[in-house]
Chain A
Amino acid sequence: MNTTALKDWPLWEVFIRSKQGLEHKHCGSLHAADAAQALRMARDVYTRRQEGVSIWVVPSANITASNPDNKGELFDPSADKIYRHPTFYDIPDEVGHM
């Protein structure tokens, strides 16, 4: 077995699908030597209170994140485009809550 020294264990992001929810939601991170161990540890750390029925783990290094410094140009332009929200349509009463 190719053993990684404890101090070099990579970081993993943990995603849990709850009983009610449809999609996996990010719930935290942990250190583990490999994917199988990360999965097991995620079970022990993040599902102790029946939080989930399915777990994903992803190496944190494999996540490409947007740069917080670019927040302005990325997200501010959508602030004044309220017409993108579907709130200007008349919905028949029979449809109920959407």
Chain B
Amino acid sequence: MNAPVDYLLHLADNAVVLGQRNAEWCGHGPILEEDLALANVSLDLIGQARLLYQLAAKRLGGDATEDTLAYFRDDTSFRNYTLLELPNYGPLVGYAASDRDYATTIVRNFLYHALMSLVWQELGESPDTELAAIAQKSIKESRYHLEHTGDWVIRFGDGTDESHDRAQKALDYLFPYTAEFWVASDVEAQALASGAGVDVSNLHQAWNEIVEDTLAQATLKKPVVKGYVSQGKQGVHSEHLSYLLTEMQSLARAHPNATW
């Protein structure tokens, strides 16, 4: 049984949106080696998104291509977690000049890759064999991303007073958005019913263990989540996604069908 197309889009949108956010660091990384490393993560994510969009386009048929799915859908059609579309810095007062904050970027990636290292593992066994093949390729990438970003979380948390402070602030800001991981959307419920999806609530404990182990080494405090559950994967986004998409889609929309 194949997974619903919307479920493929949920997975693809996650990858492309985080890939795009991470790519904002390209050429601006804190050090040369890390600049390359994060660009590598982006390229892995965009590669995953391409495979998923291609599969979705094949199953949709008609004029759909990976490009129409990535570049010609609007923000309310995107099904990515809200966590992934937030800017690369935390909340600021109105008059503050924003800048990229590497702790925010790293913590966000860590929380997501901890999840995906579990999701891809399960999807690798999916009876939807084409999705399973993508998952088996992606699991290796996600495990490395988790190792890489987890290492930075520990270095930041257990580093200097300032790096600890910034890592904790990033965690306090981003962690509540992970509540969205564990509440199945209609699409995830359909995917699960089809037999090809993943029961996200079953992954919560394993995810907690990964996160708590790393946070303990980092001497960071796990924030308490109460109440609010973001709904990006159901198409209800923060104001940040439309800006991200406008930039990402501008070239393809200004020059439709352009090739290079």
* A36 touches B (CB below 8 Å): yes
- Of the candidates A1, A6, A31, A45, the one whose C-beta lies within 8 Å of that of B154 is A1
Q: Is the CB of B151 within 8 A of A40?
A: yes
- B31–A1 touching, CB < 8 Å: no
The interface centre, meaning the residue of B32, B33, B36 with most chain A CB atoms within 10 A of its CB, is B33
Which residue of B has the minimal Cβ distance to A44? Answer: B37
Whether the Cβ atoms of B40 and A3 lie closer than 8 Å is no
Q: Which of A16-56 contact B (CB under 8 A)?
A: 30-33, 36-37, 40-41, 44-45, 48
Given A1-B154, A33-B155, A37-B151, A6:B36 Cβ within 8 A:
no
State the main secondary structure of chain B at its contact with A. Answer: helix
Q: Is B148 an interface residue, CB under 8 A from the partner?
A: yes
Contacts of B148 in A (CB 8 A): 40, 44
Tell me, in angstroms, the Cα distance from A48 to B37 when the chains sit together. 10
Return B109 CB to nearest CB of chain A, in Å: 14
Answer whether residue B235 sits at the interface, using C-beta atoms and an 8 A cutoff: no
The answer, yes or no, to whether B172 is at the interface (CB within 8 Å) is no
Contacts of A1 in B (CB 8 A): 154-155, 158-159
A37 to B160, CA, bound (A): 17
**Which B residues are in CB contact (< 8 Å) with A40?**
37, 147-148, 151
Shortest 10 CB-CB distances between A and B: which pairs?
A44-B37, A41-B33, A1-B158, A3-B159, A44-B36, A45-B36, A45-B33, A44-B40, A30-B33, A3-B160
Expressed in whole angstroms, the Cα–Cα distance for A6 and B160 within the complex equals: 12
Q: Is B34 part of the contact surface with A, judged by Cβ < 8 Å?
A: yes
Give A1's nearest chain B residue, CB to CB. B158
Give the docked Cα–Cα distance between A40 and B32 (Å): 13
Q: Which residues of chain A are near B37, meaning CB under 8 Å?
A: 40-41, 44-45
